[in-house]
Amino acid sequence: MNRPYNFSAGPAAIPEEVLQQAAAEMLDWHGSGMGVMEMSHRGKEFIAIYEQAEADLRELLAIPPGFRILFMQGGGIAENAIVPLNLSRAATVDFVVTGSWSQKSRKEAQKYAAEVRTAASSEEGGFTTLPDPATWQLSRGASYVHVCSNETIHGIEFQELPDLRALGCDAPLVVDFSSHVASRPVDWSRVGLAFGGAQKNIGPAGLTLGVVREDLLGHALPICPSAFDYKIVADNQSMYNTPPTWGVYMAGLTFQWLKRQREGDATGVAAMERRNIAKAKLFYDYIDGSQFYVNKVAANCRSRMNVPFFLRDESRNEAFLAGAKERGLLQLKGHKSVGGMRASLYNAMPLAGVQALVDYMRDFERTCA
């Protein structure tokens, strides 16, 4: 079966091998007589799934021992509240606003922190650049500094996480890495907390990852619900309430798939980074060489995962989308707040899929000439 190429920004494509394995195990997981969705989350079968998924994620992302991995629910939107409930200490928090998602995070934090400050913003330029860290106005004594390391809607990505210590700030860095988790390595020496919804790069909607430094546990506000208190979740191995068992299982299969990936001498996330660099280069090089399409993001902060682009003649948008669908190229319509088109090139998207999209775009441009 030749499946179409799905460029959805999320929920997004899942590796076909993972889907096939999940289908094969749907009615009977490893001879247990149960599907994963039917298991007790406290039974030995699911505990084995959970422990393997946690171990594989720690290995893939090279997460140091001083960090706890949390499998939660609610997506990135819920984390916008859960983070300040746990880390704000009802004091000042700083935000670097680089697109729609960091805007949403800042707005939600205003409900729980005593003061929410914008340390830097690229809104004036239409979120097409990243503010230089040297210009950030960081608060003395802030409880944390929040960044969204990859803005799914605007197609902005930090190519390197900011070094707050080098900027004279000792606050922990909070990173929303929802849309590029496991696509590139993480420098954990610069991170206090990283969180992300699974539905873009590591599995289905319903699972949220949290990776939190141990010294940041135990500071939740009194109003924080127990199920969202990071320390309680960590102390109970993400089993304080019933976790999203199917999401954990699917993420675990995806982690195993990631571990099997090879690019030259690189494996796992390092291999995926090489592959993602190649995919992004192919796509951006074509757009930049075209007079028919345009990407407006500065070259030094373009996302490898999410590429918004526009037809210079936007009256052709509907014809472009219809033709793409006929060629088996799905979910290319841009976000409603931005318009145009968007191609998401997550880990599950092969280089062949990007080449197929480039070939179609070239053909469409030719027919419109």
CA–CA gap between residue 91 and residue 143 (Å, rounded): 7
Catalytic residue among 176, 229, 257, 333: 176
φ and ψ at 46, to 5 degrees? -70, -35
The Cα–Cα gap between 357 and 369 comes to 18
DSSP class of 200: T
Annotation marks residue 101 as catalytic: yes
All residues at 6 or more sequence positions from 117 whose CB lies less than 8 Å from its CB, including other chains: 92, 93, 94, 95, 137, 139, 142
Q: Hey, what are 230's tokens?
A: 């990071």
d(CA 81, CA 85): 6
316, two tokens: 């052709």
Please tell me which residue in 29, 94, 101, 279 is annotated as part of the active site. 101
CA gap 152, 335 in Å, rounded:
9
Cβ distance 193 to 212 under 8 Å?
yes
**Is there a catalytic annotation at residue 281?**
no
What is the 8-class DSSP label of residue 145? E
Give the active site residue among 136, 200, 229, 279: 200
Known catalytic membership, residue 336: no
Active-site residue list: 101, 176, 200
